[in-house]
Amino acid sequence: MEKFILAIDQGTTSCRAILFDHDSKIRQVAQREFTQIFRQPGWVEHDANEIFLTVESVMASCLQNAGVQPDQVAAVGITNQRETTVVWNRETGLPIANAIVWQSRQTAEICDDLRSHGYEDLIRSRTGLRIDPYFSASKIRWILDHTEGGQQMAEEGKLLAGTIDTWLMYRLSGGTAHVTDYSNASRTMLYNIFEKKWDERILALLNIPACMLPEVKDSSGHFADIDATHFFGHSVPIMGVAGDQQAALFGQKCFTPGMAKNTYGTGCFLLMNTGSEPKVSDNGLVTTIAWGYKGEITYALEGSVFVAGSAIQWLRDELKFFAASPESEELALAAKDDSIYVVPAFVGLGAPYWDDRARGAIFGLTRGSDRADLTRATLQSLAYQTKDVLDAMKADAKDDISVLRVDGGASANNYLMQFQSDVLQCQVVRPQNVETTALGAAYLAGLAAGYWQSMEELSADQGADKIYEPVMSPQEAEEKYKGWQKAVEAARFFSR
């Protein structure tokens, strides 16, 4: 009887269940969206119960459509939207409020307050993070503040808190497991990533009782058993858990220090494996836990680019240059002028600049500049911004980048990937299976379940769709990058 690993990919807008076979091939996918709740401008919330029910429904569809019996699932892995926070009643299992989503800015005041008290360095030196509404800590505080008797119930041990992985495992286990993994814990801004424990000082600063928080475990190992009532009469173990970006790093098999992945979506998410030592950033990156495996922690540096694929959407929707994003490739290849720079700082600039005020700009226009030239320059801006972050990573990690592994929607663009390799002067590898997030969760679960034997076994199966090698000379690459740096400087000067 053939066995499989089932990955649950609980994303920001949809839940997916993906069935992987022993060759890491996708055998079936089921996906369903759920409701986004916008009660006020800047707020984003989810109904945690709806998320749970959506997960149950995609698991059922996935198995049914695949014609696979529940006992053919060797183990389940979970990867989830990170930082999104749920608080629920221990006795009833019901959430006491909507889940607050990572993007939501409703806790900005709590963070401003922490900053104004000068806690920036304290938080960074314990959690590796910047103080930001993004992370879970201020979300728990907000929910307790906005629930009648919330603080008291929390102190009496009547409330539990967790990220979405924790919530799902609590529900799927019939309320028996209150657990998370290192990668998710490291995004709460409550977890001391250096001492590997919930940080008492930060909990005290935010007045969050430690008894609300889950037990933190290795990302690969036994987390909980899904109760038979939730898995079609069969109990199956959850053996792998990681936050989405860390799961993608694992799914890209970036197992050794110096290996990095970039996801080209709406924005870019870059993570670099820095090994067993946490590297604190001097260049605007955050330090995070990539995963815990066999009792050992692997750390990562993380940086994000705010505007990447969305700049291509801008060309498509606002400038009406083309009807679909993939057409940008052909246009870029037809461009003649190579001296234009587009700085897509539509919402400011992220790492390593951290400039909220910066706005977009175009440099080097001539009478002949056309949409092909502008499209090429916009695609190039994704590659330059990626180099900005990778250079910061190299400086922080004091390590070189051997290879960049890529995924996400815009990684399908061959022009962009070749140019990325040229600008970085390193190999760029796009895997055959770009579902790296779900694959990462499946690998973590499958390794713990003995479905796969070792990371070496996984690495041996390279499965690259395409490998890009630099064809541009190092001198030319450097010249071009200097032009980009000048353009960024000029754009920032204008917005000052």
**In the complex, which residues of this chain contact ligand ADP (CB under 6 A)?**
265-266, 309-310, 312-313, 325-326, 328-329, 408-410, 412-413
d(CA 177, CA 57): 21
* Cα dihedral across residues 35, 36, 40, 45: positive or negative: positive
d(CA 280, CA 286): 7
Give the shortest CB-410-to-ligand ADP separation in angstroms: 4
User: What residue spans of 19-70 are helical by DSSP H?
Assistant: 48-66
In the bound state with ligand ADP, the residue whose beta carbon lies nearer, of 157 and 326, is: 326
Give the shortest CB-129-to-ligand ADP separation in angstroms: 22
In the bound state with ligand ADP, the residue whose beta carbon lies nearer, of 170 and 269, is: 269
Give the shortest CB-265-to-ligand ADP separation in angstroms: 3
Cβ atoms 301, 281 nearer than 8 A: yes
Give the shortest CB-25-to-ligand ADP separation in angstroms: 21
List Cα–Cα distances, 479 to 127, 338, 353, 402, 486, in angstroms.
Answer: 38, 12, 21, 22, 11
d(CA 194, CA 207): 22
- Residue 280 per-residue DSSP state: P
Place of tokens 């700082």: 345
The closest alpha carbon to 7, from 96, 103, 75, 72, belongs to 75
Give the shortest CB-197-to-ligand ADP separation in angstroms: 33
In the bound state with ligand ADP, the residue whose beta carbon lies nearer, of 329 and 422, is: 329
Place of tokens 């754009």: 491
d(CA 21, CA 214): 31
d(CA 99, CA 107): 13
Question: Radius of gyration of the chain from Cα atoms?
Answer: 23
d(CA 403, CA 468): 10
Give the shortest CB-415-to-ligand ADP separation in angstroms: 8
d(CA 385, CA 76): 36
In the bound state with ligand ADP, the residue whose beta carbon lies nearer, of 397 and 410, is: 410
In the bound state with ligand ADP, the residue whose beta carbon lies nearer, of 284 and 409, is: 409
- Bridge partners (DSSP) listed for residue 77: 7, 240
Give the shortest CB-273-to-ligand ADP separation in angstroms: 21
Give the shortest CB-61-to-ligand ADP separation in angstroms: 21
In the bound state with ligand ADP, the residue whose beta carbon lies nearer, of 299 and 415, is: 415
In the bound state with ligand ADP, the residue whose beta carbon lies nearer, of 9 and 388, is: 9
Contact partners, residue 142, CB within 8 Å, separation at least 6: 100, 106, 107, 110
Give the shortest CB-469-to-ligand ADP separation in angstroms: 20
Give the shortest CB-328-to-ligand ADP separation in angstroms: 5
In the bound state with ligand ADP, the residue whose beta carbon lies nearer, of 300 and 416, is: 416
User: Which residue of this chain has its Cβ atom nearest to ligand ADP in the complex?
Assistant: 409
Query: 286 is written with which tokens?
Result: 């955050």
In the bound state with ligand ADP, the residue whose beta carbon lies nearer, of 138 and 375, is: 375
In the bound state with ligand ADP, the residue whose beta carbon lies nearer, of 325 and 369, is: 325
d(CA 293, CA 154): 32
Strand, coil or helix: 323: coil
